[in-house]
Amino acid sequence: MLRLRILSTSVSRLTVTALALLAPAVAWAQDNVPPPPTLSRTPKPWLGFVVMFLLVALVLGVSLMPSKRGHQD
């Protein structure tokens, strides 16, 4: 029973020490404000249309492929 009390005491001391060491780091991290994002490059609209056209062509091409089913299916 004494060992358990010593172990729990040492674990609680270790926890308190770790929290005491981490508290300033947390406070310092909250002071740093990230810079605002810059949106200088916008994607080209025609690039989206090309991607949509390719996807539609792919779906239509796959759906129009004949199925190879026999008369026993």
Query: Residues 21-55: pLDDT tens digits?
Result: 766 766 666 666 777 888 777 778 999 999 999 99
With residue 50 as reference, give the H or E element that holds it. Answer: helix 45-63
Is the pTM here over 0.75, yes or no?
no
Place of tokens 């310092």: 28
Only one residue has tokens 């792919």, namely 58
Which residue has tokens 């358990």?
4
Distance from C-alpha of 24 to C-alpha of 71, rounded to nearest angstrom: 76
pLDDT digits (tens, 9 = 90+) for 5-29: 655 677 777 787 877 776 676 666 6
